[in-house]
Amino acid sequence: MSCRIVSTSTLLATLAIVEILFGSHASASSRTVIDQTGHLLHLPQQVRSVGTPGISMASLILVLTEGQKLTAVAPEVRDNPWLRRVMPSAATLATPFSRPSGVNLESLLAIKPDLVTLWLGNAVLGKQLEALGIPVFNLGYTTPEEMKNAVRLLGTALGDNEKRRAEDFIRYYDDNLQRVAQGLTGLPPDTRPRVYYASISPLHTEGLGSMIDSWIDTAGGINVAAASGLRGDVQVQMEQVIAWNPDIIVTLDATQQQAILQSPRWKHIKAVRNGQVLLNPRGINAWCTRAAETSLQILWAARTLHPQRFPALDMAEETRIFYRRFYRYTPSDDELALILRGASPENLPSGSQP
C-alpha cells in the first residue's frame, strides 16, 4: 500500500473509472470505495463495525457515527478519560491493537470489523490485516484541506449517514477557517509572533509539512522550526531554541510546560520571561493534533496569538457548541474549563448529556 496522499481530483477521477468498469458487476451487498492513497476497498453496503488503534482517528469516527460503530481500539483509547465521558460505552471496547503498530490478530479476528482505519505509515500492519480479509482504510493530513478531504472519504466509506455528517463537519471547519482569515485580514507581517511548539519533550517540535505548522500559520504566527527549514517531527538543540528566542511557546501537555518553566536553561527566552508558555487545550486528544478538535484549534490559536483581533471570541462557548454538535454531549462549565486547561475530567462527577 502506498503512503502517498493522492489529490482530491485524482481520487474522484479514479472513482469514476472504477464505477464505469465495475459498477454494473458489483454485488448488491457490496460497494467500492477509495482511501486517501488511492487504495481501493470493497466494503459491505452497511459498515457496522470499525477498528482503529489511535485516539485521533477514534475522535473522527465518533464525530461521524456517534461511536456506535467503533468496536476495536488500543487500550489507551479505551481508557481515554474524555472519550469515556462523552461515550460511556468506550469502557467496554475490545482492545486488540497496541501502540504504535501492534495487533493481536486472534482477538481482532474474533471481532472481524468491516473496516480498520490506519494513519499513513502503517503499511506493514495494513498488509497483515488485508491478508486476513480485513479492509484497511488509510488516512493522513497535514493541512486543513487534506483533513477535510480525509473526513469526506472516511464518511463515504462508513455509509450514507456518515457521509452527511462529514459534510456538516467540513462546513463547520470551513466556517472557522473563514472567521480566522477575516479576523486577520491586513495583518502586517511584522506583527506575526514567533511560536515554538514543544511536543513529546521540550526539545521535540514539528516543522514544515505538519499540522502544527499549518495551524500556527493559519492563526497568524510564525513556526520558528518551519522558518528554519526543519521538516516534520524533529529533535532540536537548546542552543537552537535560544537562538530562535520565540515570543510564544505552546506545549502539548502539562509535563512539557512544567519542564520548561522549571528549567534554568529556558529562563532567558522571551516567551518564558513574559509568561507566554502556554498549555494547549485537550479534549479527547490535544487540539493541536490530528483529532477532530483541531477544527477548534485554529480559533484558539488565533485568539491566543492576536487577542486584539478576536475580542469577542469565547472559547468556552465555542467548545460547548462543538461538543454538542459533533459529539452529542453538552459539557458543563467545569468540564469546559478543564478542556481549555488541557486537564483530565477524572475527579469531576458524571457529565451531562443533551
CATH number at residue 151: 3.40.50.1980
- Tell me how far CA of residue 220 lies from CA of 10, 192, 238, 311, in angstroms: 31, 6, 25, 15
pLDDT given for residue 349 in this prediction: 75
92 and 204 in a common domain: no
pLDDT given for residue 25 in this prediction: 44
Q: Does 21 reside within a domain?
A: no
Q: Does 74 reside within a domain?
A: yes
pLDDT given for residue 6 in this prediction: 55
pLDDT given for residue 10 in this prediction: 52
pLDDT given for residue 346 in this prediction: 84
Phi, psi of 194 (to 5 degrees): -90, 125
Within 8 A by CB and 6+ apart from 247, the residues are 193, 194, 195, 270, 271, 274, 276
Answer whether 0.85 is exceeded by the pTM. Answer: yes
Q: Does 122 reside within a domain?
A: yes
| Domain range enclosing 137 | 46-174
165 and 50 in a common domain: yes
pLDDT given for residue 181 in this prediction: 98
Domain count, the chain: 2
pLDDT given for residue 37 in this prediction: 87
Domain boundary among 313, 331, 348: 313
- Listed as ranges, residues in the chain with pLDDT below 70 are 1-28, 350-354
146 and 106 in a common domain: yes
pLDDT given for residue 19 in this prediction: 45
Dihedral over alpha carbons 81, 87, 93, 95 (to 10 degrees): -40
